[in-house]
Amino acid sequence: MNDVRLDTNFVDYLIVASYFVVVLGVGFAAKRYIKSSLDYFLSGRSLPAWITGLAFISANLGATEVLGMAANGAQYGIATVNYYWIGAIPAMVFLGLVMMPFYYGSKVRSVPEYLLLRFNKQSHVFNSVTFAIATILIAGVNLFALALVLKLLLGWPIIVGIVVAAVIVAGYITLGGLSSAIYNEVLQFFVILAALIPITVIGLHAVGGWDGLKEKVRAGDLGEAGLHALQGTNPGDVTNPIGATWIGIVFGLGFVLAFGYWTTNFAEVQRALSAKDLSAAQRTPLIGAIPKLFLPFVMILPGIIAIVVIEGLGSGDPNMEYNNAIPLLMNQYLPNGMLGIALTGLMASFMAGVAANVSAFNTVVTTDLVEPYIKPNMPDEWYINFGRFATIGGIVISIGTALIASSYDNLMNYLQALFSIFNAPLFATFIIGMFWKRMTPAAGLWGLIAGTVTAATLFIGYKAGWINFGSDLDQSMWGAGSAFVVDGIVTVIVTYMTKPKPIEELQGLVYGMANEDEAPKRKLAWWESPKLLGFGVLAGATALTIVFW
């Protein structure tokens, strides 16, 4: 956005400034309750399921969702809903019902720490380092998006906006740790909805309702294909805007990318690990899945509205990038006051994305790298202080990675490429290691390395023009699928060439050997049943997919 600026006034500025004051106030309030490193990094494992559930979904409502999904809606149409009903809900249910008993029952403080217990130090270090890199790259995406909004609001240069945004987020995370992040994420969830619902309702009314929107989409570049989720995905007859087959969507996106992200991304899993007991931990992603069912109607729909009402969107003009769909709609439809609320919602979403990744970064760097390998046996207070230092360091590095994100006109394409490289091979290692006792520590390391290298090679080959795919998203789906398969093959080969861990060392870490003391301490009400919640949201996702087929 070189010249675009929103028509804001004093009321809008006051609303935004008030929100920043509240956010920092939460950080100061949370600081009073930090007595140990467990309090700082995992909120003392004391939070109720509804808090962790809303924080779980809010942590994902960063630039990926708000700018990225609207951008994809404008570029690809209804097919973008596959990121929710196929590419999120099943994986969130699997995390809650199958994987949380292993994570929570083993008492790990992070996802990489599970690899230490299940495999060895080498796997632990490799994943800790790659995870730290991934979280900082993703935090940079959200910093860049937040800087875009500050440019719209105040006309600041992008780099100034990035630095100011970084200082605000660093302030409340450094003060209050994970508790500060989680309580702010719950607040941000409602602020984000307050921003997006008016844009969607007013925009939909302006185009003549749902029927009017469909008519305009059919008449535009997307055509009829832009109104369907899965039509035109048969191999050999691909007509959908994404350029992917149903195999790529179901296996690459729905299985590998989705399960890789939702089940192994510590920025999300950390919220569930902060729950007060195993039942609450299991319900965390399942509660988050309920709003996830309906978010496409306020995330993707505005992008589709934008492509039919904003002339030149996606034309190559820097002011008309797909990433700008939401801000341009805000400027076109919202009056002052409501514009301030919408801007606050955008900022809240990007701050949630930065905070989720930076809080995960400081936990992994401190508990998975510094404490076990660099500075072991230090006083607890030392690790809390180092965690605060790691927060500031992570934010500073994120400023640099935000500049990388600024080179992409569709942030979702960039994020999916990152997920295919960092999350897809990790999921293969996790899922095989959890369900196959024979898998060896060496296999855990070499499978992970092979999968990561495979995905990175395909990404580089595509960007260099050596390998052709239907689109950036098609490349991410195939990159993720290839990484998963290669990881699995290498894992099996190395397993049969090396020695497994003694079976007694796998207690609480593999299927069939859950820790008995993690059973619920009280009888759950019927509506608290994780299985009921899980199958309920799966049924909802299936029904919605059929409706928009």
Contact call for residues 458 and 252 (beta carbons, < 8 A): no
Report how far residue 101's alpha carbon sits from residue 185's, in angstroms, rounded to the nearest whole number: 24
Cβ contacts of 16 within 8 Å, gap of 6 or more: 153, 340, 343, 344, 347
Contact call for residues 423 and 260 (beta carbons, < 8 A): yes
- Give the ranges where 43-157 is alpha helix by DSSP (H): 49-58, 66-76, 82-85, 89-94, 100-105, 111-118, 121-154
Contact call for residues 441 and 127 (beta carbons, < 8 A): no
Residue 27 forms part of a structural domain = yes
Report how far residue 224's alpha carbon sits from residue 339's, in angstroms, rounded to the nearest whole number: 33
Closest CA relative to residue 332, chosen from 211, 199, 209? 199
Residue 250 forms part of a structural domain = yes
Residue 150 has pLDDT above 80, yes or no: no
Whole-model pTM: value is: 0.81
Residue 224 forms part of a structural domain = yes
Residue 512 forms part of a structural domain = no
Residue 99 forms part of a structural domain = yes
Task: Pick the more confident residue, 545 or 184.
Answer: 545
Residue 540 forms part of a structural domain = no
* Strand ranges inside 355-464, DSSP E: none
Report how far residue 355's alpha carbon sits from residue 130's, in angstroms, rounded to the nearest whole number: 19
Contact call for residues 263 and 430 (beta carbons, < 8 A): yes
- 29-88 pLDDT per residue, tens: 766 666 655 555 555 566 888 888 888 888 777 656 787 888 888 888 888 898 899 989
Q: pLDDT band for position 233 (50/70/90)? A: confident
Residue 197 forms part of a structural domain = yes
- Mean pLDDT for 164-177 is 71
For 348, phi then psi, to 5°, come to -60, -40
Residue 537 forms part of a structural domain = no
Residue 242 sits in a domain whose CATH number is 1.20.1730.10
Return mean pLDDT, the chain.
83
Residue 172 has pLDDT above 60, yes or no: yes
Using only the alpha carbons of the chain, give its radius of gyration.
Answer: 22
Domain extent at residue 193: 10-411
Residue 502 has pLDDT above 80, yes or no: yes
Which pLDDT value is given to residue 2? 44
Total tally of structural domains belonging to the chain? 1
